[in-house]
Amino acid sequence: MSALRAGFIGLGAMGGHMATNLARAGLLGGVWNRTPAKAEALARELGVTAHATAEDLAADVEVTVLCVSADSDVLQVGESIAPSLRPGSIVIDCSTVSAETARRMASLCAARGAGFLDCPVSGGVEGARLGTLAIMCGGEGEVFEKARPVLAAMGKTVELMGPCGHGQATKATNQILCAGVIAAVGEAMAFAKAEGLPLDKVISTLGQGAGSSWYFVHRAPYMSRGDFPAGFRVRLHRKDLLICRDMAHRHGAELPTVSSVLDQYDQLIANGHGDEDISSIFRLKTRLFDAEQD
């Protein structure tokens, strides 16, 4: 069986690396980006086609992968490429958006006889570069199996979570977890600081304990240093938590952890910290102990 021919739309911080990994696996035929210079440069580097339009790309490949920003961007791209999709082809959306957007994309694709998978990713820019992303997928089993080589080229853990929308619902679950954990880590570290504890020893000791987590081990050191270099940006997590909040509202539920962290992110953004790592929530937690600190 010949290899699938894939195309990539959205060559941002994540998409550029993901497309590169598809090229390394011999699966990438072409790329398209809204700002053409990025696509031209990457296409030259990878020896693939820089398509003039997203529609041209979709018409040329069996699998179209998108990684753009928010719900409206995914739908805008989906509506523009739908008329060009080949029957039997597959669209994979790796952006973090709502389950509802995934279902709207699936029906746009189905109207052209194409399959759709919602496949948001976790693992950050580093995971995208190394091809070690966790990819949580929603869609039909048959479509998923056909697309598996493309997904396997971009991620290490690739899991079908259920029907369309279940990939995004799983990603939203992860974002709620991250919100609660980073808020708890920030609060605990601010408390430890106020108590005058040696923060590095707190991290190395409690990092082995039952209250530990990835965020405690890897992000409490940022808090201890008071430096929050961009990793998972406050602005991006805020976008994801708004999706979580809206999805919960569809069940008639209010999520207190999500609401509280959203309020805190709004304060951080208003104070110019929106492009810092989410561990900068520590800035607000220390204020609980010292009103003069920023």
Name the active-site residue from 171, 193, 201, 239.
171
Minimum CB distance to ligand NAP smaller for 8 or for 203: 8
Query: Comparing C-alpha atoms, which of 83, 35, 34 is closest to residue 58?
Result: 83
Q: What are phi and psi of 272, to 5 degrees?
A: 85, 20
Interaction between residue 86 and ligand NAP (CB under 6 A): no
Contacts of 122 (CB under 8 A, 6+ apart): 133, 134, 136, 171, 174
Q: Which of 5, 25, 34, 134 binds ligand NAP (CB under 6 A)?
A: 34
User: For the chain, percent helix, then strand, then coil, each to nearest 5?
Assistant: 55, 15, 30
Query: Comparing C-alpha atoms, which of 41, 190, 27, 171 is closest to residue 94?
Result: 171
Interaction between residue 262 and ligand NAP (CB under 6 A): no
Looking at residue 83, what DSSP letter applies?
G
Interaction between residue 12 and ligand NAP (CB under 6 A): yes
| 146 in catalytic set | no
- CA torsion sign for 111, 112, 113, 118 is negative
Interaction between residue 77 and ligand NAP (CB under 6 A): yes
Q: Which of 85, 236, 261, 281 binds ligand NAP (CB under 6 A)?
A: 236
User: Using CB under 6 A as the criterion, what x/- string covers residues 181-200 for binding ligand NAP?
Assistant: --------------------
Minimum CB distance to ligand NAP smaller for 152 or for 206: 152
Q: List contacts with ligand NAP (CB under 6 A).
A: 10-15, 33-35, 38, 67-69, 73, 76-77, 95-96, 121-122, 124-125, 232, 236
